[in-house]
Amino acid sequence: MSWLDEIRWDAQGLIPVIAQDWQSGRVLMFAYANREALALTADKGTAHYWSRSRNRLWHKGEESGHFQKVHEIRLDCDEDVIIYSIEQQGGIACHTGRESCFYRRLEGGSWVVTDAVLKDPDAIYHKH
């Protein structure tokens, strides 16, 4: 039996993936992986995901250049969530140009932006 067979994939063949900074522990992003994405991540050492919006395999950094070097892959006790312990190239994980996708905090009933944009998204993503 393969290590991939030990995972509890959802009905769409996906598993939630948390990308966490390998040094600070900060959660940088959340995405999904299918079997191919997880196998490629383990094989290549860089983060691969399944893009539900684009319905295709996604190598993080393929457009932005902000690749994620994977130091460790962990599976939770229920075998239905993965953590990639990553080193974020360029310090930007979010498509908004921020370090983390979790840049808003609930304060007094409103979402408050807590993290600055490190790079204008238009300078990161080029329309083809």
Domains and CATH numbers, the chain: 3-124 (3.10.20.810)
Residue recorded with tokens 């990308």: 19
Q: What is the pLDDT of residue 125?
A: 79
What percentage of the chain's residues is helix, strand, coil (to nearest 5)? 15, 40, 45
CA distance 100 to 106: 16
Residue 16, beta-bridge partner list: 32
CA distance 103 to 128: 28
Q: 67: pLDDT confidence band, cut at 50, 70 and 90? A: very high
Q: What is the pLDDT of residue 126?
A: 66
Q: What is the mean pLDDT of the chain?
A: 95
Q: 124: pLDDT confidence band, cut at 50, 70 and 90? A: confident
Give the percent of the chain with pLDDT over 70. 98
Are 103 and 92 a contacting pair, CB within 8 Å? Answer: no
